[in-house]
Amino acid sequence: MRRLGVNIDHVATLRQARGGISPEPVVAAGIAELNGADQITVHLREDRRHIQDRDLEILVKTVQTRINLEMAATEEMIGIASRLRPHTVTLVPEKRQELTTEGGLNVLGQREALHKAVSRLRDAGMVVSLFIDPDLSQLRAAKHVGADAVEIHTGTYCEAFQAGNSAEVLRNVPVLRDGVLRNVPVLRGELEKIRVAAAHGRNIGLKVYAGHGLDVRNIVPILTLPEIEEFNIGHSIIARAVFIGLGPAVKEMADLIHVAP
């Protein structure tokens, strides 16, 4: 069964807006788990704009599924991860001014530094994933630096989906098979890049995850790609939770992911 990692950063964003104690991300993690989340994902940013060190410290003691810690490959963060030992560390690029993580890691351009960071985290017992764009040279570099997994950045695909509609993503093309003309769905554009990257990642022995910008609509074509075993989703779930509650918002996404073949 494929996994849903629920990113609870934006519960902390809301708390930080008033600098108080509510809403509590640890409670959100519990509700997410009770409603089908297979993992809790948090991004401890250098500027601590949402998740705080104390959140992570409590989460490692209370989360019953797994924790996926997104972080920059800095000395400070490697130290925190090695002390608290979440199940998975996802290395992401980080810029102070960005609203959210804007693109994948340039693994190719920093192979030596990432090789060291990945080795240290793996030696401390964590699964290491690299957040990358659907780019074959970055996938090969991720394998080269010793990563266990890659999380494919789906942000550009989600923007394309938003600009068009689901019909832009899948179209039926008549193909002659066994002497019969059949309509075969063909993936277009950004989705095709993700399909090729996911298949290549699996071929070279990487676990393949996906995330960024996914919601209940745009994830449907992505669920046709069998290589992707985990999805990390935050903003759309927390945004829907404002209207329908966190439990139902997690459950509808978990049900979608878990019933997909």
Catalytic residues: 43, 70, 212
Q: Rounded to the nearest whole angstrom, what is the least distance from the CB of residue 75 to ligand PXP in the complex?
A: 20
Side-chain-facing half-sphere of 261: CA atoms under 13 Å: 2
88 binds ligand PXP (CB under 6 A): no
Which region, judged by CB under 6 A, interacts with ligand PXP, from 56-64, 181-189, 233-241, 253-261? 233-241
117 binds ligand PXP (CB under 6 A): no
Q: Of 38, 26, 14, which is closest to residue 233 (Cα–Cα)?
A: 38
Q: Which of 96/177 has CB closer to ligand PXP?
A: 96
8 Å CB contact between 128 and 88: yes
> From CA 96, how far away is CA 65, in angstroms rounded?
30
43 binds ligand PXP (CB under 6 A): yes
8 Å CB contact between 107 and 138: yes
> From CA 41, how far away is CA 6, in angstroms rounded?
6
Q: Which of 121/233 has CB closer to ligand PXP?
A: 233
Helix (H) or strand (E) holding 108: none
Which of residues 100, 162, 172, 203 is near ligand PXP by CB under 6 A?
A: 100
212 binds ligand PXP (CB under 6 A): yes
Q: Of 41, 151, 42, 146, which is closest to residue 104 (Cα–Cα)?
A: 151
Strand, helix or coil at 212? coil
Q: Which of 31/214 has CB closer to ligand PXP?
A: 214
Name the residue with tokens 């059949």. 182
Q: Which of 100/172 has CB closer to ligand PXP?
A: 100
Which of residues 35, 39, 88, 90 is near ligand PXP by CB under 6 A?
A: 90
8 Å CB contact between 228 and 210: yes
235 binds ligand PXP (CB under 6 A): yes
Which of residues 56, 130, 139, 233 is near ligand PXP by CB under 6 A?
A: 233
211 binds ligand PXP (CB under 6 A): yes
8 Å CB contact between 135 and 105: no
70 binds ligand PXP (CB under 6 A): yes
> From CA 141, how far away is CA 194, in angstroms rounded?
17
Q: Which of 129/169 has CB closer to ligand PXP?
A: 129
Q: Rounded to the nearest whole angstrom, what is the least distance from the CB of residue 91 to ligand PXP in the complex?
A: 9
**Binding residues for ligand PXP (CB under 6 A):** 7, 9, 43, 70, 90, 92, 100-101, 131, 151, 211-214, 232-236
